[in-house]
Structure 1
Amino acid sequence: MSRQATLTRGSTFKHVTVMSFTGALGLMAMFLVDLVDMLFLSMLGEKEIVAAVGFASTVIFFTVSLSIAVSISATALVARAVGQGDIELARRRATHVLGVGVIFSSVVVWLLWPRIPAILHFLGADMRTLDLATGYLHILLLGMPAVMIGMIGSGIMRALGDAKRAMYATLLCSVVNAVLDPILIFVFGLGIHGAAIASLCARLSMVVVTYYGVVKVHRMIGEFDLMECLQDLKPIAKIAVPAMLTNMSSPLANAIVMEHAASFGDDAVAGVAIIGRVIPVVFGGLFALSGAVGPILAQNYGAKQFQRMHHAMTSAVVYALGYCLVLCSALYLSQGFLVSIFNASNETADLIRFFATYVSFSFFFQSLLFIGIAVFNNLGKPLNSTLLNFGRATLGTWPLITFFGLFMGAEGVLFGQAMGSVIFGCIGFVMARRYINELEYRTEMTLAESVHSDEMLP
């Protein structure tokens, strides 16, 4: 077995914990920088600037989602090859996913660039807000290939079990952004364009960490071969395309929730918006769970160690339960602080308290869905992830928040979304367990047939 298949040995709980926490630190750092970025821009005193960033963020979220999807493909393919002990195949797959990612992201930039004003106008931006958002996006969109390289590189390092260097890429990006933001926005007086340049520099910094980790430390980039790349295109797309669709479901669910909250007035919208800012910071350790469990499952599947795959699933559930018990308790105890720091009053404060008291623990069940998504993305059935996520975003959101909203008001919107997470979390986890059992059975039957064939030979 390859010396690099580190996730096929040792405690599965330790692997899950380390991979999740390192991923969470990087994610939470990026979310915190986004908040600080918005705070700096709001200090300029122009509501058009804040609105422009809001419109641009929709487009940026789309491009980042594409990068994350390709990185999921890189993690799954490389980890599986490493688990099989085939480092040359892992190196080939890493090289070709990276090549495909750079070409794909460059094409996306080429297609979006001239259409940015039209897209922003379609989203509702006009006049000065449209001009500001267009200039902001024209700068920031140039960094998409760098984001693609950074995400894929982080995925490759996670596939190798090197969670710390994968975290360093996002941490460095956040630090560079946080340092350059006030300098370019205030000292040089560049305003929103300064924020865009800071973000562009931060994204370019990800390439440096990725190059050092993937190329210098792990030597996972080989010679690019066009014919072999075309052969690898099918397995890459088989994972990446459903993953892209999966990532699109979250903004769909958020849009449905915000639309229903708007029917209960501005206080309800403010409450949902504040909760939306709190969630990624508090539950970042769960959002990172899918990216943590995936490489562990893929390496052990490549090594045909199904018992460790079952242990990894159990370890992920134990980790999620412990995380939720601690963080949900902290959230419950700090609800008064949240209400005061956001100057919330009336229904806004009631929603924050309702979320902290009753709804927050539903993220344990959402973590079960994350685990299920990791199973299907990394073990050959990414379409199941897409169906589960879109199911939660539609069937698990709209009917439930409509029903509970009739009886509970704005609180029913949060409660309905939580119930959807409970239902689809349980469904996704059960499906994932059964799928691993199915893979194990198939493997045992294949081995039995192979032994039988050998015995029949003279």
Structure 2
Amino acid sequence: MSLTSPPPDKISPDDLAQQEPPPEVDLKATRPARFVHGSIMRHVVVMAGTGAIGLMAVFAVDLLNFWYISHLHDPALTAAIGFAAALGYVQVAVSIGMTIGLGAIIGRLIGARRVIRARRFASAFMVVMVAVTAVLGSLTAVLASFLLTLLGARGEALIQAVGFLHLVSPFLPLVCYGMAQSALLRCVGDARRSMQVTLVGAFVSALLDPILIFGFHMGLTGAAISTIISRGTVVAFGFYSLRNHRMLERPRLWAIAPATRQIGGVALPAIATNLATPIGGLFTTHFMSRFGLEAISGQATIDRIVPVAFAFVFALTGSVGPIMSQNLGAGKKDRVRETLYASLKLTALCVVLTWAILAAFHTPILHLFASKGVAIRIVTLFCCWLVASYFFVGLLFVSNTAFNNLGHPLYSTGFNWGRATLGTIPFVWIGSFYGPIGILVGQSLGVVIFGSLAALTAFRVIKRI
């Protein structure tokens, strides 16, 4: 089957009038297939750079939120954030997986200039995304106490984490919908508005967090309320930003099944792929909980620093997908190969610069987050040495993006689950005999192995195009 010729849709005779007219080119849609021309490195830098600004703003607010809570000087609250985040990452992984599928297929259709079909499939599949995340969010809220207990949460930390998830989890569809809107903006090449969508949410959260946490003395409850309002703002602004691109319409029931089949073919393996990382993180959190609240607080500090420090690397994985898929849809395979090479070069540069900055400023970081006891050793080891392992995390993420957009989504599933199981559990288990430091070292060794193997496999896939 041709990449540019999706399977025929099963449409009733009454819906024949709603079929897309040939040719499937919507002349009113803005800037179609902009990535099939011009400098690949420039496209990658612009898309990843603007995406990184948006991600950095979101994660910086999350980091600021953690800083606020840490200055309440209650280890139970900072540990509660760590436990709740471990489950939150699983929820977000499902949302990201569906967004990857949406971006890959819609970008491919735009590259093939089938813009009307792209709009109808996007609108239909977003109904599925909302339904799936509504069920997942509700289940998480209901099972929060049970799941957090399995992770090792106890006492006040358990109570606070459960309360946070009860408030935030039911609003998971807002997260997924906002991600999908941002992905559609990237698909049409509107990097600026895609960045602005995330910046608006970050601004609202940054404004409300100190007011609710300190002004109204609401603690984690205030942080949860701020998060919900921020997510709603993102969705509202996403609709506003997409209005000129004509990439959303009233969902058509007949389009849900074909859209789900085609997009789901990428989304399901991508969900499985993205679930691997937080599942591996759950194992790490479980082992770390044996060493007390200070160890969990140290791990939570790292988990807040990493997304800000490596926002560019994480943005690469979401930004280069549309570049690859548009060029693949247009049949320009040499530009697909060039996109992968450019991404790997930028990943290496980002990790080297981040390592230098964190190593130089690790002492102020310790004071900033009021780290105590074993948390000091954990954060120092990460900033000075283990941060280098994120080069291999970058290799894994960029390779997974290539697999998802080049027709090999099961490769990314295999490598991510390999890292989360064989590359995490035995290494972390052995490392736990040497304390929290051993756990972190073991986790880093596992990603070196699987990141390297994934990159080698990505080069082989590129050569076969």
- Bin for the TM-score computed over the shorter chain: 0.7 to 0.9
Deviation at residue 254 of structure 1 after TM alignment: 2.5
Deviation at residue 274 of structure 1 after TM alignment: 3.7
Counterpart residue type for residue 427 of structure 1 = L
Structure 2 distance, partners of 1:403, 1:320, is 30
Matching residue within 273, 292, 295 for 2:322:
295
Say whether the 8 Å CA contact 2:103–2:184 is kept in structure 1: yes
- CA deviations on 1:45-94 (whole Å, 9 max, x unpaired) are 66655555444434433332222221111111110111111111211221
Deviation at residue 144 of structure 1 after TM alignment: 1.9
Single out whichever of 331-340 and 68-77 deviates more from structure 2: 331-340
- CA deviations on 1:295-317 (whole Å, 9 max, x unpaired) are 11111100110111111111111
Report the CA distance shift for 1:87/1:435 in structure 2 as closer, same or farther (over 3 A).
same
Deviation at residue 23 of structure 1 after TM alignment: 1.9
CA-based RMSD: 3.1
**2:455 maps to 1:429:** yes
**2:92 maps to 1:38:** no
**2:360 maps to 1:333:** yes
User: Partner residue of 1:172?
Assistant: 200
Structure 2 distance, partners of 1:343, 1:54, is 15
Single out whichever of 130-139 and 58-67 deviates more from structure 2: 130-139
Deviation at residue 122 of structure 1 after TM alignment: 5.4
Report the CA distance shift for 1:35/1:354 in structure 2 as closer, same or farther (over 3 A).
closer
Structure 2 residue runs without a partner (length 5+): 1-24
Report the CA distance shift for 1:117/1:427 in structure 2 as closer, same or farther (over 3 A).
closer
Say whether the 8 Å CA contact 2:276–2:417 is kept in structure 1: yes
User: Partner residue of 1:217?
Assistant: 244
User: Partner residue of 2:443?
Assistant: 417
Report the CA distance shift for 1:183/1:259 in structure 2 as closer, same or farther (over 3 A).
closer
Structure 1 distance, partners of 2:161, 2:291, is 29
Matching residue within 134, 158, 162 for 2:186:
158
Report the CA distance shift for 1:131/1:396 in structure 2 as closer, same or farther (over 3 A).
closer
User: Partner residue of 2:55?
Assistant: 27
Matching residue within 118, 125, 128 for 1:90:
118
Report the CA distance shift for 1:222/1:429 in structure 2 as closer, same or farther (over 3 A).
same
Structure 1 distance, partners of 2:298, 2:72, is 24
Report the CA distance shift for 1:157/1:133 in structure 2 as closer, same or farther (over 3 A).
same
Which aligned pairs between 1:48-447 and structure 2 lie closer than 5 A? Answer: 49-116=77-144, 118-120=146-148, 132-214=160-242, 216-259=243-286, 271-342=298-369, 349=376, 351-401=378-428, 411-438=437-464, 440=465
User: Partner residue of 2:18?
Assistant: none
Say whether the 8 Å CA contact 1:173–1:205 is kept in structure 2: yes
- Number of equivalences: 437
Structure 1 distance, partners of 2:116, 2:402, is 24
Single out whichever of 267-276 and 418-427 deviates more from structure 2: 267-276
Structure 2 distance, partners of 1:345, 1:113, is 31
Say whether the 8 Å CA contact 2:70–2:369 is kept in structure 1: no
Deviation at residue 200 of structure 1 after TM alignment: 1.0
Could you tell me the percent identity over the aligned residues? Answer: 35
SS of the equivalent of 2:105 reads helix
User: Partner residue of 1:456?
Assistant: none
Say whether the 8 Å CA contact 1:142–1:200 is kept in structure 2: no
Single out whichever of 354-363 and 222-231 deviates more from structure 2: 354-363
Say whether the 8 Å CA contact 2:204–2:230 is kept in structure 1: yes
Bigger CA radius of gyration: 1
Report the CA distance shift for 1:187/1:219 in structure 2 as closer, same or farther (over 3 A).
same
Q: Which has the higher helix share?
A: 1
- CA deviations on 1:103-161 (whole Å, 9 max, x unpaired) are 32333345455555555555566776666545433432342222121011111111222
Say whether the 8 Å CA contact 2:82–2:299 is kept in structure 1: no
Say whether the 8 Å CA contact 2:82–2:297 is kept in structure 1: no
- CA deviations on 1:201-222 (whole Å, 9 max, x unpaired) are 10000112210222x1211113
Report the CA distance shift for 1:193/1:346 in structure 2 as closer, same or farther (over 3 A).
closer
Single out whichever of 166-175 and 134-143 deviates more from structure 2: 134-143
Say whether the 8 Å CA contact 2:56–2:308 is kept in structure 1: yes
Structure 1 distance, partners of 2:42, 2:53, is 16
Say whether the 8 Å CA contact 1:76–1:379 is kept in structure 2: no
Counterpart residue type for residue 203 of structure 2 = V
SS of the equivalent of 1:40 reads helix
Single out whichever of 359-368 and 338-347 deviates more from structure 2: 338-347
Counterpart residue type for residue 31 of structure 1 = F
Structure 1 distance, partners of 2:97, 2:299, is 27
Deviation at residue 361 of structure 1 after TM alignment: 2.4
Counterpart residue type for residue 217 of structure 1 = N
Deviation at residue 177 of structure 1 after TM alignment: 1.0
Structure 1 distance, partners of 2:342, 2:140, is 42
Deviation at residue 269 of structure 1 after TM alignment: 5.8
Structure 2 distance, partners of 1:297, 1:351, is 38
Report the CA distance shift for 1:352/1:123 in structure 2 as closer, same or farther (over 3 A).
closer
Deviation at residue 195 of structure 1 after TM alignment: 2.5
